[in-house]
Amino acid sequence: MSLELLVTLGVFAPLLGAAVAGFFGRRIGNIPSQTVTTGLLFFSCAVAWTVFSQWTWGGLEPFTVQIAPFINVGDFQSNWSIRIDALSAVMLVVVTSVSSLVHLYSWGYMAEDDSKPRFFAYLSLFTFAMLALVTAADFMQLFFGWEGVGLASYLLIGFWFKKATASAAAIKAFVVNRVGDFGFALGIITVFWMFGTIQFAELFPMIASQQGQGWSFLGHTWSALDLAGVLLFIGAMGKSAQFFLHTWLPDAMEGPTPVSALIHAATMVTAGVYMVCLLSPIYEYAPTASLLIAIVGAVTALFAATVGLMQNDIKRVIAYSTCSQLGYMFFAAGVGVYESAMFHLFTHAFFKALLFLGAGSVIHGMHHEQDMRKMGGLWKLLPVTYAVMMIGTIAITGLGIPEIGGFAGFYSKDSIIESAYAAASTGHSAAGYFAFFVGIIAAGLTSYYSWRLIFMTFHNKPQWTEEAMAHAHASGHDDHASQAQIETHSEPIEDGDHNAHGHDDHGHHGPLKPHESPWIMLVPLILLSIGAIAAGFVFAPEFIGHHETEFWRGAIFNGATNHVLHESHEVPLWVKWSPLVLTLLGAAIAWYYYVLREGLAKRMAANEGPLWSFLYNKWYFDEIYDFVFVRGAKGLGDLFWKIGDVKIIDGLGPNGAAWASLKSAARLAKIQSGYVYHYAFVMLLGVAGLLAFAIYAWGA
């Protein structure tokens, strides 16, 4: 079988799985639906690793598989294609690896749910849309995949649609992403207006020749490439939850935990980073757009890290962590090190999926509890989950020793921070120093809230009781609750479930206590742990080291003056050690507040000071947006409806004419008495009037 055919089958396999589970799931049952979707995902994963290994070590060259015409209207030509190069090879591995493990993990996590075929169909549909996005050879297919993951994320976040908060979160994600997608569509239109094509292979070689092209508007000439770059980045801001368009991401936690891992770790939120790196030929000639990307990314990294300090929901902490890490990726791309951005995307997929699925294991073991303030002392009861969460925490904090090594996050995050300093010191980016200092501060904050999560969840004195866990389990308020549970707050009825009366997973009677997850959930965690440990030192030479030029092979474009990645290897020693110092400082502060002086942070939070309130309430973004946009839109709608439509248009138009007709009819009706003498009198008056008129006319 040729590689082209194998890749085509790998891309479309999740779509086949989604169709089987979605259309026939109720007929064939849960197990066949799960088997088909999961098996096809592992097939796609095997294909992806085959392509990636051949690209990395086998000398595979870029190629494109033309499948069928897509949209052909005049000069607007789009074909459904599968593009294989370094960027798509990396993304294929990231998407299929995490998605296949999420499918497997969901066998255990969603065991209590009564809509498993629908859930697995949505997961597979999401994966297909993402694969279509990352293998697109033109903007039209890219936009198709872009909107496809938006639709699938809406379905997955609102999977428990009878739960009001889940439906609201799904709608919020959909609406906020539409704002970004509007800018993305305008960016595509701008590119087509400038170059007359949306095919990447035709577009990229033409960009340098259009560097000076301008667009006159409001008496000013704007750089057309900068305009296109900014508009396209607005799309990335929505999809990747950057500052101002980030508010949907934490609320996406209302979806099942496997969905959180899939959306936040490897797929939807990284689509914006991938798109910016793919369009490096545009951004290398659009300095204003690149500067905006660097600034927004750095602000996002800092903002999300500060908010993560005060959150108590275990999934919400990790969600804000995702937002912060995406900020790192964007400011890396903004200062010109697209290679480091992609490397962090690659490593982040492993340890962030590990942390989310690990959090799901904690929630499963805690009988639906998500509040870290009600946990504690779990390391002995959940030993495997504790071990993998420790690995994920070490990886995300970038803990490692310069010139020696560490886990995955150490290599990619430090490369970004060092590159930001190099971009500033060489004059390549005006935002370099800002991004550098934000990067090291955010590294310290990341360390603090990550270790805070570990200490509150697994160490300290147990804050849970058997009665509280029984109540949490019976209420079914977390991910595991089926639609019926959410509606009725009843106990699960499937075999092997926990309930408030003390039945454990195996049907034995006894008190409710935290318990380790089944092995079908733990195996994906162990596999992801391997990636969180090894993805850094194994692939750093290929992505950002001495072999990076050979690895990327033109998939990423660097301008003649862009030597930032190479300069990053020569930064001063204090720059290399700064992230480690801040990381250790953050961990030490977390240890002081949550272990050495246990209870101190809780007492400080109880005071609800202004700084605590500001961070706990997420900089009041939701409240501001609710006042400005939600209430503003409602007020504007009421103005047009109640004043413009009802009082002015209807009042002067249909309602006014109808009122006048009604009043006139009422008065005329009074003379319709039904008495003959009244009608005779009116007739006499008419005759008298006619005679008077005739006499007047004749006399004249």
The 10s digit of each residue's pLDDT in 162-171 is 888 888 889 9
Q: Any idea what the Cα angle at residue 458 is, between residues 346 and 396, rounded to 5°?
A: 20
Average pLDDT of the residues in 107-131: 91
User: Measuring CA to CA, which residue among 153, 115, 174, 132 is closest to residue 15?
Assistant: 132
**Which two three-digit tokens encode residue 337?**
């090190």
User: Taking a C-beta distance cutoff of 8 angstroms, is the pair 285, 326 a contact?
Assistant: no
Q: How far apart are CA 60 and CA 221, in angstroms?
A: 44
Residue type, 185: A
Average pLDDT of the residues in 113-126: 91
Rounded to 10 deg, the angle between the 116-134 and 30-57 helix axes is 20
pLDDT of residue 264 exceeding 80, the answer is: no
For 43-101, the pLDDT digits (tens) are: 999 999 999 999 999 889 999 999 998 888 888 889 999 999 999 999 999 999 999 99
Residue linked to tokens 């990341």: 446
For 396-405, the pLDDT digits (tens) are: 999 999 988 8
**Per-position DSSP letters for 70-124, written without gaps between them:** EEEETTEEEEEEEEESHHHHHHHHHHHHHHHHHHHHHHHHTTT-S-HHHHHHHHH
pLDDT of residue 407 exceeding 50, the answer is: yes
Q: How far apart are CA 52 and CA 6, in angstroms?
A: 13
Q: How far apart are CA 519 and CA 133, in angstroms?
A: 33
Q: How far apart are CA 379 and CA 377, in angstroms?
A: 6
Q: Residue 142: pLDDT band by 50, 70, 90 thresholds?
A: very high
pLDDT of residue 600 exceeding 90, the answer is: no
Dihedral angle at the C-alpha atoms of 567, 570, 572, 574, nearest 10 degrees? 100
- How deeply is 677 buried, as exposed, middle or buried, from its count of CB atoms within 10 A (0-12, 13-18, 19+)? exposed
Q: How far is CA 467 from CA 361, 481, 500, 503, 700, in A?
A: 20, 19, 8, 13, 108
Q: How far apart are CA 685 and CA 683, in angstroms?
A: 5
User: Taking a C-beta distance cutoff of 8 angstroms, is the pair 273, 240 a contact?
Assistant: yes
Q: How far apart are CA 159 and CA 612, in angstroms?
A: 33
| 3-state SS assignment for residue 223 | strand
Q: How far is CA 176 from CA 180, 243, 247, 288, 307, in A?
A: 7, 12, 8, 24, 20
> In this prediction, what percent of the chain has a pLDDT beyond 90?
52
Residue linked to tokens 């290398």: 284
Q: How far apart are CA 291 and CA 336, in angstroms?
A: 10
Query: What distance, in Å, lies between the first and last C-alpha atoms of the chain?
Result: 110
Q: How far apart are CA 314 and CA 425, in angstroms?
A: 39
**Which two three-digit tokens encode residue 518?**
């089944």
- The beta-carbon contacts of 693-696 under 8 Å, at least 24 apart in sequence, are none
User: Measuring CA to CA, which residue among 169, 137, 126, 154 is closest to residue 63?
Assistant: 137
Consecutive H or E run containing 541: helix 519-543
Specify the DSSP class assigned to residue 503.
B
According to the model, what pLDDT value does residue 64 have? Answer: 93
According to the model, what pLDDT value does residue 590 have? Answer: 93
Q: How far apart are CA 671 and CA 664, in angstroms?
A: 12
According to the model, what pLDDT value does residue 305 have? Answer: 93
Q: Residue 502: pLDDT band by 50, 70, 90 thresholds?
A: very low
Residue 107 CA neighbour count, 13 Å, CB half: 22
Residue-averaged pLDDT of the chain: 86
According to the model, what pLDDT value does residue 482 have? Answer: 45
Residue type, 252: A
pLDDT of residue 338 exceeding 70, the answer is: yes
**Which two three-digit tokens encode residue 631?**
């209430």
Quick one: CA dihedral 627, 628, 632, 633, positive or negative?
Answer: negative
pLDDT of residue 495 exceeding 70, the answer is: no
pLDDT of residue 451 exceeding 50, the answer is: yes
Average pLDDT of the residues in 28-47: 94
pLDDT of residue 568 exceeding 50, the answer is: yes
According to the model, what pLDDT value does residue 500 have? Answer: 35
Segment among 374-388, 525-539, 648-662 with least mean pLDDT: 648-662
Q: How far apart are CA 396 and CA 95, in angstroms?
A: 19
| 3-state SS assignment for residue 67 | strand
**pTM for this entry:** 0.87
**Which two three-digit tokens encode residue 578?**
């700064």
User: Taking a C-beta distance cutoff of 8 angstroms, is the pair 283, 290 a contact?
Assistant: yes
Consecutive H or E run containing 550: helix 548-552
User: Measuring CA to CA, which residue among 211, 175, 393, 383 is closest to residue 286?
Assistant: 211
Specify the DSSP class assigned to residue 460.
S
| 3-state SS assignment for residue 331 | helix
Q: Residue 192: pLDDT band by 50, 70, 90 thresholds?
A: very high
Specify the DSSP class assigned to residue 310.
S
Specify the DSSP class assigned to residue 68.
E
Q: How far apart are CA 106 and CA 123, in angstroms?
A: 10
Residue type, 434: F
Of 465 and 680, the one with more pLDDT:
680
| 479 backbone dihedrals φ, ψ, rounded to 5° | -50, -40
**Which two three-digit tokens encode residue 323?**
């937002």
pLDDT of residue 490 exceeding 80, the answer is: no
> In this prediction, what percent of the chain has a pLDDT beyond 70?
92
Q: Which residues contact 77 (CB under 8 A, 6 or more apart)?
A: 71, 197, 198, 199
Q: How far apart are CA 189 and CA 183, in angstroms?
A: 10
According to the model, what pLDDT value does residue 506 have? Answer: 40
Average pLDDT of the residues in 375-393: 92
Q: Residue 493: pLDDT band by 50, 70, 90 thresholds?
A: very low
Q: How far apart are CA 266 and CA 106, in angstroms?
A: 16
For 608-634, the pLDDT digits (tens) are: 788 888 888 888 888 888 888 888 888
Q: How far is CA 289 from CA 126, 196, 232, 336, 343, in A?
A: 30, 21, 9, 12, 22
**Which two three-digit tokens encode residue 419?**
């590159």
For 213-231, the pLDDT digits (tens) are: 877 777 777 788 999 999 9
According to the model, what pLDDT value does residue 629 have? Answer: 82
User: Taking a C-beta distance cutoff of 8 angstroms, is the pair 273, 338 a contact?
Assistant: no
For 42-55, the pLDDT digits (tens) are: 999 999 999 999 99
Consecutive H or E run containing 221: strand 220-223
User: Taking a C-beta distance cutoff of 8 angstroms, is the pair 372, 453 a contact?
Assistant: yes
Average pLDDT of the residues in 147-172: 89
Q: How far apart are CA 456 and CA 461, in angstroms?
A: 9
Which H, E and C letters describe 399-456, residue by residue? Answer: CEECCCEECHHHHHHHHHHHHHHHHHHCCCCCCHHHHHHHHHHHHHHHHHHHHHHHHH
According to the model, what pLDDT value does residue 485 have? Answer: 44
| 114 backbone dihedrals φ, ψ, rounded to 5° | -100, 10
User: Taking a C-beta distance cutoff of 8 angstroms, is the pair 214, 223 a contact?
Assistant: yes
Residue type, 168: A
User: Measuring CA to CA, which residue among 96, 119, 106 is closest to residue 12?
Assistant: 96
Residue type, 191: V
pLDDT of residue 463 exceeding 80, the answer is: no
User: Taking a C-beta distance cutoff of 8 angstroms, is the pair 265, 409 a contact?
Assistant: no
